[in-house]
């Protein structure tokens, strides 16, 4: 296991120098944030990012994520060009020696919350979701009222996309995902890149849009679509854990036994009602994710990939990107390493930051 940390590039308020000081964190999870969705990622831009990360004494471990163009998810006739360009971006990753790609296949929106700063009893704030609150959001004004998506789509753009998805139910979305993976996964295998789909967050339909990567059966169906080790998953405990029907340790064990967990996102959520949750501190007892059981399953099935703490609360007066402050995620990284050491003895020698 390699402990990693997400970094939003040079504009991230958390500098790489601080990430380097979190004991045991040796890898960075990042992306190119100024490329239009669907365009090819250039080797030069990725090499610049890699060099910046290297210069801080860290390694560029995971690309999270290369967005999948809506035309691919919608199954439009233009999708083949975007699929070719997606493959080209994967080869560019390979050229700079980044071997894990986290991506998702959620229509229009990826992660969705209704409150980015819910006040917790200890004075911290956390991301929260309430399906009733979501259903009251008026999308006829674009994404302006949706927390975290203010600038994403104007009203006409969003209306057109929502209309296009009226013909795409879950079954069709699976077909479109299959079409995509049948073409991209073999190319990823040739490039030596492992694809790791991120589960839908939250793991249920929102705004009438289909969501399909929501539980263990879906993740197993996914890896069966194209039977190559390059076609794998990101095991995100927070996303999957928002649905109490998901038995996370047994899901991790089944997927891990098949060698298809290529990346682990470990965070905790407190489920407070039907389709209602807020994020909570990483340790098991503060939420509904049995973190020890998940790590035990990963450990027992020989997990060697990157892991990162996922969203953190905002604590100690920190201001910054909701979910992606330094302090609580650093606490999460330490907790996860403590659990891992309890299971394994220690991190593998070459995964630790050189002294």
How far is the C-alpha of 347 from the C-alpha of 63, rounded, in Å? Answer: 22
- The CB density around residue 120, as the number of other CB atoms within 10 Å, is 18
- Catalytic annotation, pick one of 198, 278, 282, 327: 198
**The Cα angle at residue 93 between residues 88 and 95, in degrees rounded to 5:** 90
String of DSSP letters for 165-204: GGG--HHHHHHHHHHHHHHHHHHHHHHT-EEEEPPPSSSS
Is 311 among the catalytic positions?
yes
Site track 290-319 with Mn ion (rule: CB under 5 A), x = hit: --------------------x---------
Angle at which helices 216-225 and 248-257 cross, to 10°: 20
| CA–CA separation, 168 and 173 (whole Å) | 6
CA distance linking residue 195 with residue 57, whole number of Å: 25
Nearest to Mn ion of 127, 139 (CB atom): 127
Is residue 219 at the binding interface for Mn ion, with CB under 5 A as the rule?
A: no
Assess 113 for contact with Mn ion (CB under 5 A).
no
Q: Of residues 226-285, which lie at the interface with Mn ion (CB under 5 A)?
A: 236, 265
Of these residues, 102, 236, 278, 282, which one is catalytic?
236
Q: Annotated catalytic residue: which of 69, 262, 265, 278?
A: 265
Say whether 176 is catalytic.
no
- The least distance separating Mn ion from the CB of residue 352, rounded to whole angstroms, comes to 24
Helix axes 248-257, 291-300, angle to 10 degrees: 10
In the complex, what is the shortest distance from the CB of residue 157 to Mn ion, in angstroms, rounded to a whole number? Answer: 26
With respect to Mn ion, which residue has the nearer C-beta, 106 or 315? Answer: 106
The total of other beta-carbon atoms located within 10 Å of residue 347's CB is 18
In sequence order, the 6+-apart residues with CB closer than 8 A to the CB of 220 are: 254, 255
Q: Nearest distance from residue 142's CB to Mn ion, in Å?
A: 26
The residues that bridge with 105 in the sheet, in sequence order, are none
Which residue among 282, 324, 328, 351 is the active-site one? 324
CB of 239 to Mn ion, least distance (A): 5
Using CA atoms, how far apart are residues 153 and 144, in angstroms rounded to an integer?
8
Q: What are all long-range contacts of 189-193, with beta carbons under 8 Å and residues at least 24 apart?
A: 189/228, 189/229, 189/230, 191/90, 191/91, 191/93, 191/94, 192/94, 192/99, 193/90, 193/93, 193/94, 193/98, 193/99, 193/100, 193/101, 193/230
Give the nearer residue to Mn ion in terms of CB position, either 199 or 256: 199
CA 285 to chain centre: 23
**Comparison of 310 and 351: residue with beta carbon closer to Mn ion:** 310
d(CA 92, CA 79): 20
Residue 176 in contact with Mn ion, rule: CB under 5 A: no
Cβ proximity to Mn ion, 79 vs 267, nearer residue: 267
Active site residue 310: yes
Cβ neighbours of 201 (radius 10 Å): 25
**Which one of 176, 262, 278, 311 is the catalytic residue?**
311
102 is annotated as an active-site residue = no
Residue 260 Cβ vs Mn ion, minimum distance, rounded to whole Å: 17
Q: Which two tokens stand for residue 311?
A: 């969203």
Q: How far is the CB of 332 from Mn ion (least distance, A)?
A: 12
Beta carbon nearer to Mn ion, 149 or 324: 324
Give least dist CB 4 to Mn ion, A: 12
Instruction: Select which of 201, 288, 310, 328 is catalytic.
Output: 310
Q: Which is nearer to Mn ion, 158 or 233 (CB)?
A: 233
Q: Which residues are catalytic?
A: 198, 236, 265, 310-311, 324
* Contacting residues toward Mn ion, per CB under 5 A: 236, 265, 310
């Amino acid at each position: 296991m390699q402990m990693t940390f997400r970094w939003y590039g040079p504009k991230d308020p958390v500098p790489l120098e601080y990430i380097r000081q979190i004991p045991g964190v040796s890898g960075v999870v990042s992306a190119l944030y100024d490329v239009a969705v669907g365009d090819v990622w250039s080797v030069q831009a990725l090499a610049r990012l890699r060099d910046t990360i290297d210069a801080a004494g860290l390694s560029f471990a995971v690309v999270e994520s290369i967005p999948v163009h809506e035309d691919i998810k919608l199954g439009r006739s233009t999708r083949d060009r975007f699929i070719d360009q997606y493959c080209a971006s994967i080869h560019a990753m390979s050229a700079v020696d980044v071997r894990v790609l986290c991506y998702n296949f959620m229509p229009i929106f990826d992660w969705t919350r209704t409150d980015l700063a819910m006040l917790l009893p200890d004075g911290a704030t956390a991301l929260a979701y309430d399906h009733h609150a979501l259903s009251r959001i008026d999308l006829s004004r674009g994404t302006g009222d949706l927390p975290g998506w203010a600038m994403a789509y104007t009203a006409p753009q969003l209306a057109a996309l929502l209309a296009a998805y009226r013909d795409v139910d879950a079954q069709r979305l699976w077909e479109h995902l299959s079409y995509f993976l049948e073409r991209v996964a073999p190319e990823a295998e040739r490039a030596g890149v492992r694809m790791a789909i991120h589960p839908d967050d939250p793991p249920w339909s929102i705004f009438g849009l289909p969501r399909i990567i929501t539980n263990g059966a879906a993740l197993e169906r996914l890896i069966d679509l194209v039977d190559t080790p390059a076609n794998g998953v990101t095991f995100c405990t927070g996303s999957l854990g928002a649905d109490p029907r998901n038995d996370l340790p047994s899901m991790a064990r089944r997927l891990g036994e098949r060698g298809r967990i290529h990346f682990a996102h470990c965070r905790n959520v407190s489920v407070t009602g039907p389709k209602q949750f807020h994020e909570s501190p990483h340790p098991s007892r503060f939420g509904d994710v049995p973190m020890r059981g998940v790590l035990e399953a990963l450990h027992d099935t020989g997990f060697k990939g990157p892991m990162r703490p996922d969203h953190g609360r905002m604590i100690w007066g920190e201001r910054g990107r909701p979910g992606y402050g330094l302090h609580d995620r650093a606490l999460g990284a330490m907790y996860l390493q403590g659990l891992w050491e309890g299971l394994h003895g220690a991190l593998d020698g070459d995964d630790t930051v050189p002294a």
